[in-house]
Amino acid sequence: MSDLLPNHLAGRWQAGRGAGTALFDPVLGTELVRVDNSGLDLEQGFEFARRQGGGALRAMSYAQRAGLLGAVQKVLQAGRDAYYEISTANSGTVQRDTAIDVDGAIYTVGVYARLGAALGERAFLLDEAAQSLSRDGAFQSQHLLVPGRGVALFINAFNFPSWGLWEKAAPALLSGVPVIVKPATATAWLTQRMVADVIEAGVLPPGALSVVCGSSAGLLDALRGFDFVSFTGSAHTASLIRSHPAVAERSVRVNIEADSLNSALLLPGQDDAALQLLASEVVREMSVKSGQKCTAIRRVLVPESRLGDAVQAIVGGLRELRVGNPRNPQASMGSLVSREQKDAVLRGMDELRRHATVLHDGAAQPLLDADPETSCCVAPLLLGLPDAAAGDGAREVHEMEVFGPVATVLPYRDTAQAVELARRGGGSLVASLYGSDATELAQAALRLADSHGRVHVVTPQVAQSHTGHGNVMPQSLHGGPGRAGGGEELGGLRALRFYHRRSALQAPGAVLDALPQGID
């Protein structure tokens, strides 16, 4: 039996009392480690984090907490090689995909360290300017943002065990709020190792960072009214969280990122340069992390007149992919993270095949250095639908997300219909636009903004400098309305607002002027 990873709670390492759940190599099928949290005193652990971790963090200024993040970044940089090995073994990722998760996490921590340093020695933030409440201006109202006194519980998804932790933890810790992370079981090893390295380095106060691996049972029960919960995962689980007494009765603040059927849209009248940019991005988004990204392109919207050209360009890129063992340097695409995910993706692909035409099926090509019976590798599948607005298949394509390497090409008549089709996703994390006319792109972007958390616009002029449809940058908002969960993360310093409490201070101007600006 493999080693049982310990949890860190209440300021100490604790092993679960059970045999644990095994984590596997999704390519070789070998057991790696086990996780278990049965028997842990969650109430005690959460209270320790609130009292010890939160108290120590709130006693610091933003600049001091930014210094902690800088120290965390150095610890993560030192462990980078080990994290790459764990990611390959437990997530089945090729080096490019591991970099997005691991290096993206390290970069994000560094961004918030720099942002926090610029906030200086302040103990709170001002929310806009003071407003007069009296005719003579002597009595005023000033809205303050003060760090919350609760704990932040993160229930994370399986696809980004590194970035998924630190893109949430960096703003929380900078805000002065302690963190307890419950990683998805299938890929919990990397999260646990990163937390262990940071804790063992002693760069954070006791209780500021904790990790609980295994079952999520009882975690929400331990939350209190001033706590926070941030969840990334399925819409079904999100609904359970929203209806839990911690949220519904105790008013725990909640942030949700759920399903998302993202779109890539080629505007009418474009030359081959813009079309090729769209095709390259579709191929990249289908293959990076084997399509296991909440921001991946699921629907490709192209003018009816360019449908054949777009399909030809995308298929040409997909044919160059080599799917298989990420340890083989010739592999450009690895595996899904588990047998459970592979089965779910294959079922979803079969369902979409019933309603759409297969334009390219990579399964015809043999896997590279991987056993198809043992490994969780799934080749890209590109589908097409003659009528994207009506008829058989339209509902499924716009409503069914298959969390793997699959996308559907959809023709449209004009820009108005293209925007309407993108909106059929019911609210998405991101849509990308491809074209060359700045006015047309700006107008289309504005029309998509109400139903998308991010609109990514690409022209031939930024072909080498744009950050990518699916790449989430810490400077920009991550989240989306409707079925995407209605949440918001990142966005620079905007992320801190979730972990702060807004309070209106009504007082004479002299009292407002006397507010302490720093930590004594």
Active-site amino acid positions:
257, 294
Residue 315 makes CB contacts below 8 A (sequence gap 6+) with: 359, 360, 382
Distance CA 89, CA 187 (A): 10
The Cα-based distances of 167 to 69, 350, 472, 477, 513 in angstroms read: 12, 34, 10, 11, 35
Distance CA 142, CA 315 (A): 58
H helix or E strand, kind and range, residue 412 = strand 406-412
Distance CA 477, CA 189 (A): 28
- Dihedrals φ, ψ of 288, to 5°? -60, 130
Cβ pair 108, 459 in contact under 8 A: no
Cβ pair 351, 396 in contact under 8 A: yes
Tokens 């990518």 correspond to what residue? 468
Which tokens go with 35?
A: 């996780």
Beta strands in 2-160 (DSSP E): 4-5, 7-9, 12-14, 21-24, 31-35, 125-126, 131-132, 139-147, 152-155
Cβ pair 324, 370 in contact under 8 A: yes
Query: Quick one: which of 332, 255, 256, 342 has its CA closest to 292?
Result: 342
Residue 332 makes CB contacts below 8 A (sequence gap 6+) with: 94, 96, 287, 320, 321, 322, 323
Distance CA 157, CA 338 (A): 13
Beta strands in 246-393 (DSSP E): 253-257, 262-266, 297-303, 357-361, 381-384
Residue 128: how many other CB atoms lie within 10 Å:
7
Distance CA 142, CA 140 (A): 7
The bridge status of strand 297-303 relative to strand 406-412 is: parallel
Distance CA 68, CA 72 (A): 6
